[in-house]
Amino acid sequence: MAGAFRAFFGYFFLLFIVRIAGRRPGKQLTPFEYVLVFFMGGLALTAMVGNDMSLTNAICEIIAVALAHLLVDWVRCKSPVFARLTDGTPLLLLSDSQWRPETMKAMGVQDDDVMASARESSVFTLEDIGTAVLERNGEISIIKREQDL
Amino acid sequence: MPSKPLTTPVQDTVSKLDNQVAIGEDLGFQRKWWKFERAAWVMLALILLLDITGAFGRGPIAKARTRAPDGSMLIDYERLERIGTPSMVTITFAESAMKSGTVTLYVTDGLVQKLGAQRVIPQPETTVLGHGGLTYTFSASGMPGSIEFDLQPTSVGPHNLVVQVVGAAPVTLNIFVFP
């Protein structure tokens, strides 16, 4: 039973830490994120398993984590406030040829991150970007500037 | 019985930029969140600092030393322990603790039940159960000399442990075990 509680606690604690660790831009995991994911996962595993390495404990803890995830998902659907707490909101990085320095600094985004996403969207200069949005999953969406007629 | 409709009309629920692009940004919320994030990091840094100092066990603050009022023994232990993490209690006896070539030591059973005493070094000549604890007898040729209990706590929370050289003044150790 203690294992299930540890798993619950571990899930919510990791959720909290990952949430405040912030979003990093990019579709793929950078070495930073790899280190974070594997290190945190490994350390959480040690505390969650403790000295009970039985199959029973593993099954119960997996179920506990799955239920915790289901619970978070359910509350997210019911409560927009909770959804914002867990996921944040999309954030404007650039619009009308103006950067949003406050957002960029707080989210650790640089102009070359925006430009990298722009190139993927076949936009090749910063001037051609109409709007750049940091999405909740860390991706940067680029909306091309409408050409002046 | 009416069933739930398969479709519902699309409403303008996502805020727009310049009334054109639906983004759903909420900078007011985000500013509050950034403030919370900063406070959370300060708190986490503080927790880490406390951990380094041993406030949660395994550090300088956790270590303690106490002497019996009559000077019969000196006990080195960790007042802050962690569950399942090995630690050691060292008891150094003074000359007054020795009687007829033996030292007889009484400890309450919390030592085994709560603090998970794994072994005692050196091996006692006898171990007697009773009076809510264990009484160990060690043969001794001269003092000072010391014994060690290897612990691996099994129970979270505060524990009081009474240690006494039989016939001398008892010592109470207050130990807190973190989860």
Question: What pLDDT does A52 receive?
Answer: 81
Question: What pLDDT does B66 receive?
Answer: 94
Question: What pLDDT does B1 receive?
Answer: 63
Residue pairs spanning A and B at CB distance below 8 A:
41
Q: Domain ranges for chain B, please list them.
A: 21-53, 63-178
Q: How far is CA A7 from CA A4, A18, A61, in A?
A: 5, 16, 5
Quote the mean pLDDT of chain B. 89
Question: What pLDDT does A149 receive?
Answer: 42
Q: Give the closest of A16, A88, A96 to B33, CB-based.
A: A88
A42 backbone dihedrals φ, ψ, rounded to 5°? -65, -45
Mean pLDDT calculated for residue range B1-6: 75
What confidence tens digit (pLDDT) does each residue in B67-103 have? 999 888 999 999 999 988 899 999 999 888 888 889 9
What confidence tens digit (pLDDT) does each residue in B35-71 have? 999 999 999 999 999 999 999 998 899 999 999 998 8
The answer to whether B37 contacts A95, with C-beta atoms less than 8 Å apart, is no
Question: What pLDDT does A147 receive?
Answer: 65
Q: What is the token pair recorded at B39?
A: 């406070």
Tell me which CATH code domain A91-144 carries: 3.30.240.20
d(CA B120, CA B17): 72
Question: What pLDDT does B117 receive?
Answer: 86
What confidence tens digit (pLDDT) does each residue in B126-150 have? 999 888 899 999 988 877 889 999 9
Choose which CATH entry (1.10.10.60, 3.10.20.30, 3.40.50.880, 2.60.40.10) describes domain B63-178. Answer: 2.60.40.10
Q: Is B125 on the interface with A (CB under 8 A)?
A: no
List where CATH 3.30.240.20 sits in chain A: 91-144
Q: Is the pLDDT of residue B15 over 90?
A: no
Chain B residues in contact with A96 (beta carbon < 8 A): 18
Mean pLDDT by 10 residues, chain A (149 residues): 84 88 64 76 83 87 93 93 89 90 90 91 90 89 76
Chain B residue whose CA is closest to A51: B84
Chain B residues in contact with A90 (beta carbon < 8 A): 23-25
Q: How confident is the model at residue B14 (pLDDT cuts 50, 70, 90)?
A: confident
Q: What is the token pair recorded at A95?
A: 């619009």
The answer to whether A20 contacts B30, with C-beta atoms less than 8 Å apart, is no
Q: Give the closest of A90, A96, A103 to B24, CB-based.
A: A90
b (16+ CB within 10 A) / e for B91-114: bbbbeebbeeebbbbbbbebbbeb
The pTM score is 0.77
Question: What pLDDT does A25 receive?
Answer: 59
Q: Is B47 on the interface with A (CB under 8 A)?
A: no
